Structure 1
Amino acid sequence: MVFAGKRPHNLGVCDGKLAACPNSPNCVSSQSADPVHQIAPLTYTSTPEDAIAALKSIIQSLPRTKIITENPDYLYVEFKSALLGFVDDVEFYLDRNTNVIQVRSASRLGQGDLGVNRQRIETIRARIM
């Protein structure tokens, strides 16, 4: 894939935090403080185990997705665009201390994303509630 780019090496949870967004506007994160990148975490009312299972089911129902890493409190997923195969790296961290799922969705290449990363998280949010 010409537009897939290389998988980042800075992903995952470190001290309860996902990687910070780059300066480019093609990333959203529930742990970001600045308004360009900030997005609300996902909330759930079920058990944490049921919440992550529901999230996984929603992700698998979306087109062109591939779960790369999965553990009880974390999912790392690649989403591929239909037209040119651009890849977005999306992470979900179930924070048991705050009972929310922290999210980070970032384009691998380029600057802008036409709001795709934000829209993806909002689509998932609408389905998980």
Structure 2
Amino acid sequence: MYSLLGLTAALLLAGQAGLFAGQPPSGLGVHDGRLRPPSDTPNSVSSQADLYPEHPQRAYARIDPLPLRQGDAAASLAALATVLRATPGTTLVEQGPDYLRAQAQTRWLKFVDDLEFWFNPATNMIELRSASRLGRKDFGVNRQRIEAIRDAYLAHP
């Protein structure tokens, strides 16, 4: 019993000290009209998963892009930035005219996920990717977070 409590306390302290935050992966951003591929393990989602037909997590990672609000990319990204700033545990770290990058941190263990949103002029949609920095599974957390962001974005005035 005491060893379980000690282990739990040690994990919480390690998380609070930032030991589970990880580092942003290289290659974030848009390259040749694509966001980085989904992770090789089931801990990411991407609206561009189908661009990687041989990817081992393509089916797991597949998620719909965000539609533009009233056909306006700039207003859509501004609304999305507002939603990201209001999302608990999420920090907007990069904002450009067609690209947003945020970090989402879990409350207790401080795991960090990288979120990217890019206005794709070829599809007239906002492509997205969200991936855990550490671990092999995310138990659906990235998908749930993106769907909550989608709901808030679509409801934003």
**Is the TM value for this pair above 0.5?**
yes
Q: Which has the higher strand share?
A: 1
Query: In the aligned structure 1, how far is the partner of 2:89 from the partner of 2:148?
Result: 15
Gaps of 5+ in 2: 1-17, 51-57
One-letter amino acid of the structure 1 residue matched with residue 126 of structure 2: I
2:111 equivalent to 1:86: yes
What RMSD in Å do the two structures reach over aligned CA positions?
0.9
Q: Per-residue CA shift, 1:44-87, capped at 9, x if unaligned?
A: 23211110000000000111222221101001101000010000
Please give the residue correspondences for 1:1-129 in structure 2 after superposition, counting only pairs within 5 Å.
1-33=18-50, 34-46=58-70, 47-129=72-154
* Contact 2:48–2:62 under 8 Å retained in 1: yes
Query: In the aligned structure 2, how far is the partner of 1:89 from the partner of 1:67?
Result: 10
Query: In the aligned structure 1, how far is the partner of 2:77 from the partner of 2:121?
Result: 11
**If you compute each CA radius of gyration, which structure gives the higher value, 1 or 2?**
2
Q: State the TM-score, normalized to the length of structure 1.
A: 0.96
Runs of 4+ in 1 over 2 A off after TM superposition: none
Higher relative contact order (CA 8 A, sep 6+): 1
**Percentage of pairs with the same residue:** 43
Q: Which has the higher helix share?
A: 2
Gaps of 5+ in 1: none
